[in-house]
Amino acid sequence: MLGFPKAFSRPLGQGCIFGSRNRALWTATRYRPLRKHPWPVDVCSRRYKTTEAGDNKSGHIEAGQNEGIFFLDNVFPLKLNFTMWLPFIDAEKFVPRMMKRLKIPNHAAADPENIAERALPRSLPIQVTEILPRVGEGGAFVKVSHNPEQPLPDLEKTIKKYLKENPIKPWFNPFQRVRTSLVRGRPWVEDLHRVPSARLRVEFVPCSPGQSAEELSQETLYSLFRRYGKLADIQPQPTDSKELPKYALLQFSKVRHAIMAKNCMHGFVLPASEGGGVTGTKLKLGYMRTRKPHWILDWLASHPRVTLPLLLALFGTVTVAIFDPIRTFFVKAHVTRTFHISDNTVYKWLRSQASRATDALKFGRHKPEDAGLSAIWDDRKDDIGQIQTWLMESADTFIVIQGPRGSGKKELVLDQALKGRKNTLVIDCKPIQEAKGDSRTICAAADEVGYRPVFSWMNSISSLIDLAAQGTIGTKTGFSETLDAQLAKIWQNTATALRQIALSERKKDDKDSDLGDDEYLEAHPERRPVVVIDNFLHKSQENSVVYDKISEWAAGLTSANVAHVIFLTNDVSFSKSLSKALPDRVFRQIALGDCSPEVAKRFVINHLDADADEGGGPEKKPKPSEMREDLAELDDCISTLGGRLTDLEFLARRIKTGETPKKAVQEIKEQAASEILKMYILDSSPRKWTPEQAWLLVKQLADSESLRYNELLLSDIFKSDGEGVLQSLEQAEMITIVSSNGRPTSIKPGKPVYSAAFKQLTEDHVLKARLDLAILSQLIKVETQGIDKYEAELNLLANLPGAPKETRGRAKWLLGKLWTSQNKVEGYERESAGLKKVLMQEY
């Protein structure tokens, strides 16, 4: 019970709102019928109407003879005006009905009927005949019948005095009492969707059509409206305004004061005796919004320099607070394989049972790939052991496995060195680098680490918003993010997930529980996850942003002891990219080359013997390799083919189908030759080398196993950006550049089989004649340009006045160069004539 003064604790029925009687007394008082008076009035019974649109929905209520209308304020909360807009609800009926059901003894009843009864003194000879609630305005109109001998102004004074002495304060607004005033005009009880405000517009209109109205002064307006509440300001119509009808603006200090004035004075006629002009002036009142509709949206739209950064900050906060934990969870699930069915216990058991049944049917046969690779792994035991040893050390550096494509780098790391190790994340750079557009690149990077949800489409929308903002306010808002920033977010969430995984097995009762997280990770390298980055620097010449971010991210993982990082790359120049991320570290590197002839032969034979039947009888059956007489050719074939795993596996499969080793190697050579022609010589797509440069390498490598790097650069064909051309051809895997002491020294074929393929291409006389002719044409062009330059300089020297003797040496040198170039051109043309004959005579 709130501590109100004693005046508030009078018995109900005496105008008190907080009575102390029991519930029975409350109920009897609350619902008793309206009292009747002894004076004669022409009222048969009590009426309680809720005609929200007035009498007969005309928008007005009329007072008959011996009747008056009072407006009660503070009957409903003003905040309920929103109910006027609700569909399927009649607010003028629904709200009073709901408030009437509040049967709390210690609080005042809040329905208009009860408040109207308590607001009228019992001693007055009046009777309530009609009540019209105004939910939107927080009050109600009360029509009463009175004694003709009692004028309405006197009744108004008596009621106001009574309410002042016996205040009624509803439960929803206990700090303001119910107020009432006599309605002096003709109230307009519209049910439009209009919100009351403290600002009123008072229009001065004539009482009858064709007459004129008087514009009231501020003093007159003050005397008329001050009785309803304190006025904050009175603004007359500007003198230069031609707007009709004339008006003035009244600003009340409170909204309820303006509501009272509007309902009591609307339609009031000011007579001529009080300053209303010759025929009187009628007042029309209406609410004016102090703020424009949709002012918040308008303000936001008109201040983009403020709102757009705020929206960006809000969007970033939501992303970090809501989506980042979800994305980290999915990355962790991807690394730990939480939702992978192949790691489920039941699935593993069913798979093992099925494998046993299959092995029993196959009599212990093994996959030929597994059997063949066993020879390779036996040869590379030292490399496997070295990788496993590095993973047990705490040094914060990279492990780089470099080797040509097809050398078995991925199988060596994942199937052997990391076999049975949990928490391994494999990131393949190839789909990320080959993705077209920023959105697809972001999606490809997210798929590799399990980062979801990813809104790659937001990048395009953000760019459009930034472009629109730049055209509107002249500067970018920073709402859009570059590909660099988007990738940084993905790698940052992945690093957070990897750190949580590394610390997930830590327990409070460990012997080193007193260590911090960083010290714990440094002391336990075996707990760190392993990140394998495959196809590193794949097509790095097209776009290096992806590899720069991956290198920086990997450097952060190793420096913070969060994870071990293993790079798998075909590029021999990987140190240039990785040194930017870890400039003060020496990389741990394993270079995988081609297999030795002995291991390559064992690999092929193991492939052939993989499906041999090892059981069934007392006598052991001979292996397929022992039954093949043509395997004597295998040594010569392997020396031609080399030790590349992909080529050896291709050879073994062809031999298994019944082909002889020589025929299989010949088909592999032909396929390699076609591949060289298609990819490096005859392809017309834009590239950094010309067909003439590629063919010159083919010709020279067909004659010798290796070429001198610097000698080749002296050739006229490689004078223009020769080193860039050779690096591009190395990236395309046509050649391999061998380095010594950090500098390139020699050039070899990209694959061992390419050496034989080069020879086969040069044996094609028509192809050789066509491409040689193209080289000669290029050389003739180079020499012709030199001759033009020499002749132009000689002409300049010849035109000097007096033929100075100092120019004789220069002229002699130019003549020698001219003679040498001319001899070369003549020789090239003679060779070209012979090649043209070949093209004309052979197919």
Long-range contacts, 222-225 (Cβ 8 Å, 24+): 224/265, 224/268, 224/270, 224/283, 225/250, 225/261, 225/265
> What number is the average pLDDT over the span 479-490?
77
pLDDT at position 585: 79
Do 264 and 359 sit in the same domain of this protein? no
Strand 246-252 relative to strand 269-270, pairing: unpaired
Is 745 inside a domain boundary? no
Do 219 and 120 sit in the same domain of this protein? yes
Is 7 inside a domain boundary? no
Q: Which residue is associated with the tokens 């790659």?
A: 456
pLDDT at position 88: 60
Of residues 819 and 479, more confidently modeled: 819
Residue 386 has pLDDT above 60, yes or no: yes
Q: Please work out, in degrees rounded to the nearest 5, the angle formed at the alpha carbon of residue 797 by the alpha carbons of 794 and 803.
A: 130
Do 40 and 156 sit in the same domain of this protein? yes
Check if the beta carbon of residue 376 is closer than 8 Å to that of residue 599: yes
pLDDT at position 695: 94
Is 404 inside a domain boundary? yes
Which of the residue ranges 57-66, 229-238, 641-650 has the most confident prediction, judged by mean pLDDT? 229-238
Distance CA 509, CA 315 (A): 41
> What number is the average pLDDT over the span 366-395?
77
Across the chain, what does the average pLDDT equal? 80
Is 351 inside a domain boundary? yes
Strand 399-402 relative to strand 564-569, pairing: parallel
pLDDT at position 793: 93
Is 409 inside a domain boundary? yes
| Structural domain boundaries, residue 418 | 317-365+396-591
Task: Indicate the burial class of 363 (C-beta count within 10 angstroms; 0-12, 13-18, 19 or more).
Answer: exposed
Residue 103 has pLDDT above 60, yes or no: no
Residue 41 has pLDDT above 50, yes or no: no
Do 37 and 186 sit in the same domain of this protein? yes
Write out the two tokens for 249: 């603006």
Counting the structural domains of the chain, the total is 3
Of the residues 558, 591, 624, which one is the last residue of a structural domain? 591
Check if the beta carbon of residue 481 is closer than 8 Å to that of residue 312: no
Of residues 134 and 364, more confidently modeled: 134
Taking only Cα atoms into account, the Rg of the chain, rounded to an integer number of angstroms, comes to 49
Check if the beta carbon of residue 750 is closer than 8 Å to that of residue 734: yes
Of the residues 573, 591, 609, which one is the last residue of a structural domain? 591
pLDDT at position 707: 93
Do 322 and 254 sit in the same domain of this protein? no
Distance CA 787, CA 825 (A): 10
Of the residues 575, 591, 607, which one is the last residue of a structural domain? 591
Residue 232 pLDDT level (bands cut at 50, 70, 90): very high
What would you measure as the largest C-alpha separation in the chain, in angstroms? 148
Of residues 149 and 543, more confidently modeled: 149
Do 47 and 155 sit in the same domain of this protein? yes
Distance CA 153, CA 159 (A): 10
Check if the beta carbon of residue 501 is closer than 8 Å to that of residue 529: yes
SS3 730: helix
CATH number, residue 467: 3.40.50
In three-state form (DSSP H/G/I as H, E/B as E, the rest C), the secondary structure along 569-638 is: ECCCCHHHHHHHHCCCCCCEEEECCCCCHHHHHHHHHHHHCCCCCCCCCCCCCCCHHHHCHHHHHHHHHH
Do 502 and 433 sit in the same domain of this protein? yes
SS3 496: helix
Do 279 and 325 sit in the same domain of this protein? no
Is 674 inside a domain boundary? no
Residue 343 pLDDT level (bands cut at 50, 70, 90): low
Check if the beta carbon of residue 399 is closer than 8 Å to that of residue 567: yes
Of residues 767 and 457, more confidently modeled: 767
Do 215 and 328 sit in the same domain of this protein? no
Distance CA 610, CA 623 (A): 9
pLDDT at position 98: 61
Q: Could you read off the pLDDT of 682-716 as tens digits, one per residue?
A: 877 788 899 999 999 999 999 998 999 999 999 99
Amino acid at position 229, single letter: G
Instruction: Of 339, 328, 340, give the one whose Cα is nearest residue 494.
Output: 328
Strand 126-134 relative to strand 139-146, pairing: antiparallel
DSSP result, 11-42: PTTTT-SS--S-HHHHHHHHTPPPP--SS--S
Residue 678 has pLDDT above 60, yes or no: yes
Distance CA 252, CA 45 (A): 39
- The length of the chain is 843
The percentage of residues in the chain with a pLDDT greater than 90, rounded to a whole number, is: 33
Is 23 inside a domain boundary? no
Residue 477 has pLDDT above 60, yes or no: no
Distance CA 449, CA 428 (A): 10
Do 284 and 321 sit in the same domain of this protein? no
pLDDT at position 75: 85
> What number is the average pLDDT over the span 68-77?
89
Is 434 inside a domain boundary? yes
Lowest-confidence range among 56-60, 384-388, 693-697, 701-705?
A: 56-60
Q: Could you read off the pLDDT of 113-127 as tens digits, one per residue?
A: 777 778 888 888 888
Q: Could you read off the pLDDT of 562-577 as tens digits, one per residue?
A: 999 999 998 877 888 8
Residue 778 pLDDT level (bands cut at 50, 70, 90): very high
- Any bridge partners for residue 60, and if so which? 188
Of residues 840 and 608, more confidently modeled: 840
Do 236 and 341 sit in the same domain of this protein? no
Distance CA 245, CA 377 (A): 101
Strand 231-236 relative to strand 199-206, pairing: unpaired
Beta strands in 277-336, from DSSP E residues, in sequence order: 281-288
Of residues 465 and 675, more confidently modeled: 675
Do 139 and 250 sit in the same domain of this protein? yes
pLDDT at position 617: 47
Write out the two tokens for 610: 């993989």
> What number is the average pLDDT over the span 155-161?
90
SS3 280: coil
Distance CA 637, CA 299 (A): 81
Q: Could you read off the pLDDT of 304-317 as tens digits, one per residue?
A: 777 777 877 787 77
> What number is the average pLDDT over the span 162-166?
89
pLDDT at position 40: 36
Q: Could you read off the pLDDT of 587-629 as tens digits, one per residue?
A: 888 988 888 888 888 888 887 877 554 444 445 567 777 677 7
Check if the beta carbon of residue 668 is closer than 8 Å to that of residue 647: yes
